[in-house]
Amino acid sequence: MAAPPNPRSTRNPLPSLIDRLLALLAPYLRFADHLALRLVCRGWRRSCRRLGRAPPPFPWLMLPPPSATRGPAPAPGAAQRRAFYDIAGGRTYEYAVPAFHRCVASRGGWIVLAAVDPPRRLVLVNPITGAQGVVAWPFGDKGSEGFHAVLTSSPADPACFLVVATDRLVAYCRPVRGGGWVTLRAPGFRYDTAGSDFVAVGATVYLVDERRKLWRADLAAAEPKVERRDTAFALPQGEMWRHFLLESLGHVHLVVSDEHHKRLALFRLDWHARLWVRAAAAVLGDRVLLLGRGCSAAVPTLAAARRAPGTVLVARQPWSFMHAGSIARGGGQLWFWTESRLDAGPDDHMVLKKTVPHRPGVFTAGDSFWFFPGIDPSE
């Protein structure tokens, strides 16, 4: 005799059908398509997770918010649609982020936003999944204007640190554990829009100031403390230099750029020798550099839309209010990032200013940020 049918086998045949459909479509799905499919229902999310579609390693660019348009302004605490431009794919996507917040860092599919108006706070957002967390401001009334922020990994990682640095102080917390802050002293460090920067290598963070003096703290140590190295070196006079810290292949690098990104110099840190060692682009291997405050990275050329090794892309982040105004008043289309190369002098290469094709609307003079779309395994 035939066994009675299992009621569970006919209750919901949709997941297996979705699995088969996604398996057939997998070779033709881009990451953006994969993200759209996840939003259909829980069954689609489960099947997409099984498929394991990885995000592209080359980032998108989070564009500045649009200026006031028709209709009422978003209410405090409301969401605002922000544009993310996929450079390799040449398409723009929009996701909701909290209004009246400015981006200060980006890593692992997440962005860190700081509230513009009181009360001071930091908001961690994954625009792709909508996941969000709020952390109190660590310094009271201090550091409300000039500060750096960095994530050591995705906030979904229990070992992740959110780190904020301002004049003479470094504060860190674990967002997944409720955001209890610990503050370390960094005597001598001063925030500067162009001259200082911040990077994380694992659980160790590095700070550099406009004099190229360096501070380091291992946050995973039993008793973290800030160590200092005097690593200053001379640069030609008469230029406004900007400093970018980034990690590549486990090493800390410093890129020094003039105001127009025509003169670029790469240095590798030798912490124990207290030196920034001048380096050629070859030490990066087949890497392309993405530079920006709170979002610098080195990515393989295979993930960089066939750009040559040593190419440098700099997100548009005005150095000062005057610099921002000069960009916005020109009457032409705003540019959002530049492209140039290491190991090339100002006379033998061009700096290309890149815009977003067919992007309607008028943008403010805010910052652009590199953004690596990602989905945490638990989501």
Query: Between these two residues, 3 and 273, which has the higher pLDDT value?
Result: 273
> Pairing relation of β-strands 204-208 and 214-218?
antiparallel
Interval 249-277: pLDDT, tens: 889 999 999 988 888 999 999 999 999 99
- Predicted confidence at residue 28, as pLDDT, reads 64
Residue 209: which of 251, 270, 262, 168 has the closest Cα?
Answer: 168
Average pLDDT over residues 88-113: 89
Residues of the chain with CATH 2.120.10.80: 55-69+76-371
CA distance 180 to 111: 19
- Range of weakest confidence among 8-22, 164-178, 297-311, 337-351: 8-22
* Architecture of the CATH domain 55-69+76-371: 6 Propeller (2.120)
71: pLDDT confidence band, cut at 50, 70 and 90? low
- Range of weakest confidence among 158-162, 199-203, 322-326: 322-326
- Predicted confidence at residue 277, as pLDDT, reads 93
CA distance 255 to 338: 15
Interval 200-226: pLDDT, tens: 999 999 999 988 999 999 999 999 999
Average pLDDT over residues 272-292: 92
Share of the chain above pLDDT 70, in %: 73
128: pLDDT confidence band, cut at 50, 70 and 90? confident
323: pLDDT confidence band, cut at 50, 70 and 90? very low
- Predicted confidence at residue 314, as pLDDT, reads 95
Residues 68/62, Cβ–Cβ less than 8 Å:
no
Residue 182: pLDDT over 90: yes
CA distance 45 to 179: 29
Residue 367: pLDDT over 80: yes
Three state DSSP letters for 81-143: EEEEEECCCCEEEEEEEECCEEEEEEECCEEEEEECCCCCEEEEECCCCCCEEEEECCCCCCC
- Predicted confidence at residue 326, as pLDDT, reads 42
Which residues are within 8 A (CB) of 70 and not within 5 positions of it... i.e. 6 or more apart? none
Site of tokens 């892309």: 313
Query: Between these two residues, 146 and 144, which has the higher pLDDT value?
Result: 146
Q: What is the pTM of this model?
A: 0.83
- Predicted confidence at residue 359, as pLDDT, reads 64
Residues 202/152, Cβ–Cβ less than 8 Å:
yes
Share of the chain above pLDDT 90, in %: 41
Residue 337: which of 63, 57, 56 has the closest Cα?
Answer: 63
- Predicted confidence at residue 255, as pLDDT, reads 95
Token couple for 189: 């460090």
- Predicted confidence at residue 9, as pLDDT, reads 43
